[in-house]
Structure 1
């Protein structure tokens, strides 16, 4: 019961973002410089990190989304986290070669 109550702030914030997506965003046109869009980012951040951290990440992203800010792919990651590399081949490609001789 208490655990369900802790999800209420997160659900309210997600609901507010969805209202923005349905009511306000269609009138503004596509202007986000990032993928996912800022509103999609906010929902993902809230789902992954909860109301407090998700709100902080979403607010930081909205501040960065301006003509002088960045652009491109920007998934929601808490500060200091790195994106997980699911594909083993990609992980091997990113690993620098070892200077040690291979043992046979």
Structure 2
């Protein structure tokens, strides 16, 4: 249930957040896409932990291609 709500929350954010915020991500895939992948692969707790850690890293000089780890 929490995983499903989290995925819906991220999808809502992607649909309604201003483009000025969403276009700031320095990584590929974007931080929200990374969080969606993490939530689907690892579930609620580890998915959010990986997603929040990614958002924390999303600042200079970091950037580039960065995908969530495989199970």
TM-score by length of 1: 0.62
Per-residue deviation, residues 59-96 of structure 1 (Å, max 9, x unmatched): 1000000124x111100117xx7xxxxxxxxxxxxxxx
User: Which of residues 35, 44, 57 in structure 2 aligns to 1:51?
Assistant: 44
Gap regions ≥5 residues in structure 2? none
TM-score by length of 2: 0.89
Per-residue deviation, residues 15-53 of structure 1 (Å, max 9, x unmatched): 111111010143535111100000000000000000010
| Corresponding residue SS for 2:19 | helix
Q: Which contiguous aligned blocks of 4+ residues in structure 1 show a shift greater than 4 angstroms?
A: none
The structure that has the greater radius of gyration is 1
Higher helix share: 2
| RMSD, matched Cα | 1.7
Cα distance in 1, alignment partners of residues 19 and 67 from structure 2: 23
Aligned residues: 71
**Inter-CA distance 13–23: structure 2 relative to 1 (3 Å threshold):** same
**Inter-CA distance 56–73: structure 2 relative to 1 (3 Å threshold):** same
| Corresponding residue SS for 2:10 | helix
